[in-house]
Amino acid sequence: MSLDPTAHPGLTAFVFAGGGSLGAIEVGMLRELLQQGERPGCVVGASAGAINAAYFAGQPDVGGVAMLESLWRSIRRQDIMPFSMLGLLRMILQNRTHLVEATALRMLLEKHLRYKQIEKAALPLHIVATDMLSGNEIVFSSGLVVDAVLASAAIPGVFPPIRIDGQLLVDGGVANNTPVSVAVALGATRIIVLPAGFACGLHKPPGSAIGQAMHALTLVIARQLVRDLEFYSTRAEIYVVPPLCPLDVSPYDYTQCDHLIERAAEKTRAWLGEGGLQRTFIPGALREHTHTAAHPTCDASA
């Protein structure tokens, strides 16, 4: 879908990144931004960030964020990715291209999203997916919201691709996980990025193949975001809420959402109190770094 660069001139855009279970971090950030009085003119999201963007766009106020927070606190991996040995056997024996169906996630979205069409959201909403064949970025600003979110969150090999208008679509994170470029193309001149970050404090790799793949993807995502922030910094005022660092929770682990929300809220509150929205910089936690006893965190800016 083509973007109208005059769609939101002079307005603030919230950009929600992907990151699996680390999407809970964005809810803590969002809560504090609203408490500060921030109100975006549009929202853009990819992958797990598309879920947050869609829920927030439906009710973009404190009450809506509270409902989104409640959802993240109650969600478990089986609510999204109900893996089973039967599913694995089907994948092998039936030559299926994905591990699980998107049925559980579709039911979750249909149960909690209060509107059906993207254009019916209270805020202008833009959801990013990826054309499976070409790798091109596809942006949905209208159409069925559940289908668009499912496409944006369809991790290749885990979920089946979603067909919309004849195109097979997969996870938006493949093409553009933190779609700052989409917000710029829409004409937003002030952008607040809510990144999920990555698990920089793990002492060993995640214990499953999917967990390792998702962790690797979040590492790639962070590098891509830094490059995008550097490139687009001259075209808009871009403020990046600092992600959690150190972080030792895998994006495949949905048992820590409570803790992630509260920790992110506390860090965002401190960042706002220190004038975070008065200066544009790239948080050091998004750049390559390691953790040692002498340097347990990486909050330096650049």
Catalytic residues: 47, 171
Is there a contact between 59 and 53 (Cβ–Cβ < 8 Å)?
Answer: no
Helix H or strand E encompassing 31: helix 23-35
Q: Give just the sign of the alpha carbon dihedral 154, 155, 156, 160.
A: negative
β-pairing, 125-131 vs 167-170, is: antiparallel
Contact criterion met (CB below 8 Å) for 23 and 196: yes
Let me know if 173 is exposed, middle or buried by CB neighbors in 10 A (0-12, 13-18, 19+): buried
Nearest to 214 by CA among 80, 94, 107: 80
User: At 50, phi and psi to the nearest 5?
Assistant: -70, -35
Closest CA to 132 of 105, 151, 113: 151
Enter the tokens of residue 45.
Answer: 């999201």
Render 226-263 in DSSP notation, one character per residue.
HHHHHHHTTTSEEEEPPPPSS----TT--S-HHHHHHH
Alpha-carbon separation of residue 237 from 139, 187, 234, 244, 293 (angstroms): 22, 12, 8, 22, 35
